[in-house]
A and B are shown apart, each in its own frame.
Chain A
């Protein structure tokens, strides 16, 4: 046994845990045990995990320890635990998408990202809570129970990667994977004070990610700081022949590029980010963050993205249209729930009625309507044309600027139930994140302070495939400000700075 207490282990973070494992000051079993105990004590109150894989996690940890003891060559993060969103397939481990229709579904294969985690020796702790089928911005659409924000459990953690954000923020996992179709990694990262990466479309394989809107979905990372994000991105990125939309290029060495020079970088502040729909506290935190970037030598400018306001309506055609088609596979035949055996049509209708929650049904209805005869040109084609204009606008802004900045979300975490009754209001949460998915660009949400005791996130948007550039800015910014060092309960910095 090492002299490091379980609470201290969890305070180390992924990078220092990995270093301690390499120096053999800790074993993976000790680390995994510390997280499993914390999950046992904290998960009931926070709802971060839907499934905890205690036995298998410990078995994986023991295997890594044994290989290390034998002197085998291991990856730099071997033995570090990780949490995985429950829409990412894990062989032999229940994958529900927080839906009744997949409540008992155990995938017969691993998603490519999970296979990559395992190859790197990471230990999968369990599967995290989410909005059903990744449709939502609060976590309240989970069919099982809502996850709660560790900074204030009466508030939502954001969504749809709710449980992944809660697990990392509450130190129930050192880091986690999520998925982002319209902001589902970045907005919960913002609400929980984390770094959330939405990679360029095609950078990370979607094979084994349960499809929601295939032209927008991308797996991303939730971590405390930019160095961890770079490390985890390095593990999961790269070409995969099993995903025909994955880009046949090797991923760069993200950790090696963290120290890239910030001075002289052209930063375009998006004017719409200070519009009337954005809370004053969010605007203030963002203004201070921009001052810090200027202080680091960035050349600041201002840019208008006038198409931003049309991205949301276009998204609410494209994403539901793709979802209505993707979710047609849940029919009671091959896997998942079957609610009737009377006739095939009755089986389809009743299975889907019983298995899907209200938001999923709403989006299937919306998408089916938009694609139905007579409406295709008015809705789907129009939305795809607007998508072209959004892309063009970003493309031209990113010729003048190396990075664009907006708030990640227009508000800080709101109360459970506050927006649940009005879907249109809830959709506005993703106002600044959706355009990025429409264009396939990479973006990172970076913690940039607090408003009323709740975390605020700044969104950095970069050129296609320039995740490394974004992470370098995030790293320099966080090293200067220290916002990534704050932890909820007790809400003080682990490094000791006052709030």
Chain B
């Protein structure tokens, strides 16, 4: 089940990457190479094996008291934003 060029274009859209034509060509080949190596996993019988979501067994869900805590100062955040006005992140218009 080789990955097609159309699938690569679809995945690039999902990942929000505006790839060039050359990149799409290159990634189509490379994803197939990598996935071919990855498919070796099929040699392993995993029937009934539970998946590992976390490396350590002793950590389950972690809770903390639901109390208000100070966050980052607004003036610290303002300086790192690409566009900022009146305490808000500015983005291109979303709704016409």
Contact = CB atoms under 8 A, between A and B. Distances in A.
Chain B binds chain A: yes
Interface of A: 105-109, 200-202, 215-216, 241, 244-245, 247, 307, 309-310, 312-314, 316-317, 324, 328, 331-338, 341-350, 352-353, 356, 358, 361-362, 364-366, 368-369, 372, 379, 381-389, 391, 423-424, 427, 438-440, 464
A332 B80 CA distance: 11
Which DSSP category, helix, strand, loop or mixed, fits chain B's interface? loop
B85 interface: no
Given A216-B55, A352-B15, A362-B27, 5 more contacts: A215-B55, A348-B16, A361-B17, A365-B27, A389-B49
Interface residues of B, number: 54
Interface in B28-65: 30-31, 33-35, 37-44, 46, 49-56, 58-59, 62, 64
Contact of A388 (B27, B39, B50, B62): B50
Given A106-B80, A344-B94, A361-B19, A423 B55 contact: no
Contacts of B43: 310
Contacts of A365: 8, 11-12, 15, 17, 27, 31
B51 to A, nearest CB: 3
Nearest to B28: A365
B36 to A, nearest CB: 9
Interface string B1-27: 001000110011011111110010001
Contact of B89 (A106, A333, A381): A333
Nearest to B47: A385
Given A332-B82, A365-B8, A385-B49, A349 B33 contact: no
A245 B51 contact: no
A309 B31 CA distance: 20
A341 B59 CA distance: 43
Contacts of A310: 40-41, 43-44
Given A341-B92, A361-B27, A245 B54 contact: yes
Nearest to A331: B16
Ranked nearest first, the 7 interchain pairs of A and B with the lowest CB-CB distance are A440-B55, A384-B51, A349-B18, A338-B82, A108-B76, A385-B46, A244-B62
A345 B27 CA distance: 22
Given A241-B64, A365-B17, A368-B11, A215 B53 contact: yes
